[in-house]
């Protein structure tokens, strides 16, 4: 049976499996007995890459069929410092699984930064996971977070940009519209602090990731990179989600706010 390699973001882990991405996402989110539910975000990883840190040699001896011939669904290879040791060149598609196991697959595209006079909101996933407001666009935010000259930095990071609607340009009086975030007053305060302090580039809105990710609040897409490289996984437009990915989108809309 073919073996696949996945880098899960919640939680961070490297997993070998005999299930292709859609089946793995369904299993990982729902479980074999359909008794547990939880969203999943994971990259496909080129199984041919080599590492002196990650135990890739274990795949052949541990990721084997069950005695009844059924495929091995998951074999955990590492749960620590995985992103750090997987080269960006080994990352394939990114997959988003809803709580009922529906999977949306995102491919890479070049990122074109736009000149915008707006504020941004980012959800970090790995290796740290705060929710952060910033004056920086996604590419600049990535460079800032991976700059070793900063007081606090990481070697690589995965994050998505989240919707702010009118709050992006008018954090004090802008309409909340359908933004589902809890504690909007705190979010407004964070954005105002950035707007009126030109020396401050980022401000933590939430210190850690909640259980569920609001896929419907993703604005531009998902980003992963280091101080020199950026990979961009754009989110489909609303029209495309409704037309081509309606079951996934309907499931994503049922996720409660965090």
Other C-beta atoms closer than 10 Å to the C-beta of 247 total 11
pLDDT recorded at residue 85: 97
Residues 44 and 89 reside in one and the same domain: yes
Rounded Cα distance between 190 and 149, Å, is 24
In order along the chain (258 residues), what is the average pLDDT of each group of 10 residues?
95 97 94 67 95 94 94 96 97 96 97 86 96 97 96 96 96 92 94 94 90 85 97 97 96 70
How many other C-beta atoms lie within 10 A of the C-beta of residue 258? Answer: 16
Q: Rounded to an integer, what distance in angstroms lies between the CA atom of residue 14 and that of residue 29?
A: 16
Residue 252 lies in a domain: no
Residue 258: its pLDDT value, please? 44
In a domain, 251, yes or no: no
Q: What is the number of other CB atoms lying within 10 angstroms of the CB of residue 86?
A: 23
Phi-psi region of 34 (alpha: psi -120 to 50; beta: other; left: phi over 0): left
The pLDDT of residue 98: 94
pLDDT value at residue 209: 80
Q: Looking at the structure, do residues 164 and 62 belong to the same domain, yes or no?
A: no
Number of domains in the chain: 2
* End-of-domain residue from the set 106, 133, 160: 106
Q: Are 246 and 178 in contact (CB under 8 A)?
A: no
pLDDT at 116: 79
The pLDDT of residue 254: 81
Q: Return the structure tokens found at 177.
A: 């519209």
Is 139 in the same domain as 225?
yes
Whether 241 is covered by a domain: the verdict is no
58: containing domain: 4-106
Q: pLDDT for 82-101, tens place per residue?
A: 999 999 999 999 999 999 99
In this structure, are 70 and 124 located in the same domain?
no
Statement to judge: residues 85 and 185 lie in one domain: no
CA triple 174-175-180, angle to 5 deg = 120
What pTM, to 2 d.p., does this model score?
0.94
């Amino acid at each position: 049976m073919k073996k696949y390699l996945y880098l899960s973001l919640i939680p961070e882990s490297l997993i070998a499996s005999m299930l292709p991405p859609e089946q793995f996402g369904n299993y990982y989110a729902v479980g074999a007995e359909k008794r547990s539910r939880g969203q999943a975000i994971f990259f496909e990883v080129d199984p041919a890459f080599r590492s002196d840190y990650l135990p890739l040699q274990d795949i052949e001896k541990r990721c084997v069929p069950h005695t009844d011939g059924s495929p091995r669904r998951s074999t955990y290879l590492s749960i620590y410092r995985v992103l750090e040791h997987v080269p960006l060149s080994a990352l394939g598609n990114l997959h988003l699984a809803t709580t009922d196991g529906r999977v949306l697959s995102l491919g890479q595209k070049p990122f074109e930064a736009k000149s915008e006079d707006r504020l941004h909101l980012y959800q970090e996933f790995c290796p740290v996971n705060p929710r952060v407001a910033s004056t920086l666009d996604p590419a600049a935010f990535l460079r800032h977070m991976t700059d070793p000259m900063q007081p606090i930095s990481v070697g690589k990071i995965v994050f998505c940009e989240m919707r702010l609607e009118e709050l992006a340009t008018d954090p004090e009086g802008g309409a909340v519209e359908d933004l589902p975030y809890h504690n909007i007053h705190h979010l407004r305060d964070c954005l105002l602090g950035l707007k009126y302090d030109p020396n401050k580039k980022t401000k933590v809105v939430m210190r850690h990731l909640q259980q569920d990710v609001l896929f419907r609040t993703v604005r531009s897409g998902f980003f992963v990179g280091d101080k020199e490289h950026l990979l961009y996984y754009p989110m489909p437009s609303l029209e495309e989600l409704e037309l081509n990915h309606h079951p996934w989108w309907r499931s994503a809309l049922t996720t409660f706010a965090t």
